[in-house]
Structure 1
Amino acid sequence: MSIETPYLLYLGHSTDPVEIKTSRGIAVFRREICVGEFRHDDCPLTLDLPRLTFAEAVQQGAKTLVLGIANAGGTFAKPVIEDALAAMEAGLDLAAGLHQQLADQPAITGAARRLGRKLHDVRKPSPDLRVATGAPRTGNRLLTIGTDCSVGKMYSSLSLVKGLTERGVTADFRATGQTGILIAGAGVPLDAVPADFISGAIEELAPARSDAGWDIIEGQGSLYHPSFAGVSLGLLHGAQPQALVLCHNPAREHMRHLPGYALPDLAECLAANLAAARLTSPNVRAVGIALDTSSMGEDMARRLCDTIGASLDLPCTDPHRFGVEAILDKLLAKDESGIQAVA
C-alpha cells in the first residue's frame, strides 16, 4: 500500500533535535511533498515549514501525517497517540516508523476503522526474509558506517547519490531505516529484521548488478555501540561493499543514550569496520570521512575537516555543508593496479 502525499510532518512536543531526524530528513530531501509541520507550543524545534494545525493541513491538501520522531525505544507516548487520533479525525492518514506499530495501538486502529483512514507502519520487514549466503556478487557498492548512531549516515548516502548522478554515474540509494524508506519510497527497516536475516535482507536490497553504477547503502548504528553493533555487523557482511565512508559527529560527547561509553577513535573505528567487512569483501577500501559539523562555525568546521583528513590520509568533508566532491574523486579514481574503480 503506497503512502499518499503531500505530508504533514510531526514534531509534537519534541525538544531533542536528534529525535525529529525522520521529519527533518524528509523536509531536507523531499521538501516538495511537504505542506507543513505540526508542533505544540512547548516544542522549540522547527523545520522552517509552515506551522499548521491538522485541519489547516488538510485544507492545503495534506494526505498523511508522518509521525517523524524517533525516541529511545521507539514507543508511542500518550501525547503522540492523542495527536494521532486528532489527525485522523481531521482527515489524515498516518505513517510511522517507530518500533511499536500503529497497527498494535487499539485506540488508533479502532479510530482508523471508524474513520476509514490508512495506517502505514514503515518499520515492518518483508515476511519473505532469507539467510545470507555470502556468495560473491558483481556490482559496485558503497556503505556508510559510523562512530555512533545518528551521525549523518543517511545524509551522507543521499549526498553521495546526488554527487554521483551529477557526474553522470548511475547511483541508487538503498534505504535501511525509517527516514530513508520514507524518502526513497522503498527499502528494508533493518533494525526490525530478526538477527539471522539481517545480512540476507541486505543481499536482497542490493543484489548483483552488471552496469557501472553504484548502490549507495545507508548504514545503521555503529560497531562500537553496545546496543546496536549487531545490526551494524550484519549490514557490513550483507552489503559486501567495495567502499566505506565513515560518518562522525565531532560534537558528540559520548555514545547516544549511553553516557558511560566514549566515542571510538576514528582510525580504530575505521580499521575495525574494514576488518569486519573483509569477511565478504576482501578488497574493501575506505574512501572518505563525513562529519556532521552543524554545531560549529564554518571556519572551525573546515579546519577540522582538514585536520582529520590529513591524520587519516582520506578526504574529509561535511557532505551536507561542503559537498562530497573530494570523496567522489577518491571513489572513482584508479586503484593501484590501474583499474578504474567504477568499472
Structure 2
Amino acid sequence: WISVLLTAIEAGMDIAAGLHNKLADIPELVSAAEKKGTRLSDVRYPTQVYPVANGKKRQGKRVLTVGTDCSVGKMYTALALEKEMKARGMEADFRATGQTGILITGGGVSVDCVVADFIAGAIETITPESTEEHWDVVEGQGSIFHASYAGVTTGLIHGSQPDALVLCHEPTRTHMRGLPEYLLPDLKQCMEANLATARVTNPAVKFVGVSINTSAMQEEEALAYMDKVESELGLPVVDPFRQGVARVVDKLAEV
C-alpha cells in the first residue's frame, strides 16, 4: 500500500486511515506529506486528552446500541435511529465511537484506542449535558459477551449512561466473530447482562427495541424470525434496512 499512498500524496491528496497501524509511523509517508503539504489523518487515534469518568447524572437523554457480537449492525442502527428521530423533529445527534462512524460524520472518538482508564470518560465527553429533550444516539462497539472486546464495550456502556438500549443481533452466526469456541448468547441472557452493566450508571435504563440484521436471510424467513423474537421479548423487532426503525423510535418517544 505504501507505493499507492505515496502516489496519492504526490497527486496532492490528503490521506485518512482507520487502521490500528498509524500513517504517522511510516517515515516515507510523513516525509512525502510534509514536502507536498498534504495531511495524514490517523482517524482511530484520539486527538485530545480525556478525563477519568465521574458517573454523575447528566441532563439530556441517551440511547445506546448494544450487540450479541461484533459487526451485527450497531452503527447502522444508530444512524437509522438518528435519521428517523430528526425526520420527526426530535433533537438527536449520532455520536460516533469507531473509525467508520467518525469518517461518516466527521467527529467522535474511536473508543478502542483510548487508554482503558479513560474509556468511560471519553464517552462522557462526547455525550455531554444537554437539554432535557435532546437525544445522543450512541454507536455501540463489540459485545460484553465477546472475550476479546468486552472491556471496551463495558466502558462505553458506563460512560454513555444510557436511558435506553437497542439490542442488535445477526441470527445466522454460528459463533462469535473470530472466536469459533464461543457461541452467541441467548437474546434474553444478553439483554439481562447489558441491563445489569448499564444500571451501574443509570438504574432507570431499559430496552426499547431489537434490531435484527437479516441480510443473510430470505425475506419470508427473516419476517418469521422477527415475529417470533417480538412475541418472545415483547419489544418492537425490526430490520432497519428492510423496514426502518420507526417502531423503535415510537418507544423512544415514550422514555
Match of 2:121 among 200, 207, 232: 200
TM-score (norm 2): 0.96
Query: What is the aligned partner in structure 1 of residue 178 from structure 2?
Result: 257
Q: Is the 8 A contact 2:59 2:132 kept in 1?
A: no
Equivalent position of 1:50 in the other structure = none
Give the corresponding residue for 2:220: 299
Who is 1:148 aligned against? 69
What letter matches 1:297 in structure 2?
Q
| Alpha-carbon shift at residue 250 of structure 1 (Å) | 1.1
Q: Which amino acid aligns with 1:169?
A: M
TM-score by length of 1: 0.72
Q: Secondary structure at the match of 1:320?
A: coil
- Pick closer, same or farther for the CA change 1:81–1:254 going to 2, 3 Å: farther
**After superposition, where does 1:89-168 map in structure 2 within 5 Å?**
89-168=10-89
**CA deviation string 1:274-320 (max 9, x = no partner):** 00000100000001111111112222211111111111111111112
Which residue pairs with 2:231 in the alignment? 310
Identity %: 55
Equivalent position SS for 1:137: coil
Deviation of the 1:211 alpha carbon = 3.6
1:180 and 2:180 equivalent? no
**Correspondence for 1:219:** 140
Higher RCO by CA contacts (8 Å cutoff, separation 6 or greater): 2
Structure 2 match to 1:269 = 190
Match of 1:244 in 2: 165
1:177-214 CA deviation, whole Å, 9 max, x = no partner? 00111111110110000000000011111011124121
Equivalent in the alignment of 1:286: 207
The superposition leaves residues 46-68 of structure 1 with CA deviations (integer Å, 9 ceiling, x where unpaired) of: xxxxxxxxxxxxxxxxxxxxxxx
CA distance in 2, matches of 1:285, 1:200: 22
Amino acid at match of 1:82: S
The runs of at least 4 aligned residues of structure 1 exceeding 6 Å deviation read none
CA–CA separation in structure 1 for the residues paired with 2:35 and 2:250: 55
Q: Deviations over 1:122-144 (max 9, x none)?
A: 11113321000011111110000
Structure 2 gaps, min length 5? none
The secondary structure found in structure 1 opposite 2:100 is helix
- Aligned mates of 1:113, 1:203 — CA distance in 2: 35
**Could you say what secondary structure the match of 1:95 adopts?**
strand
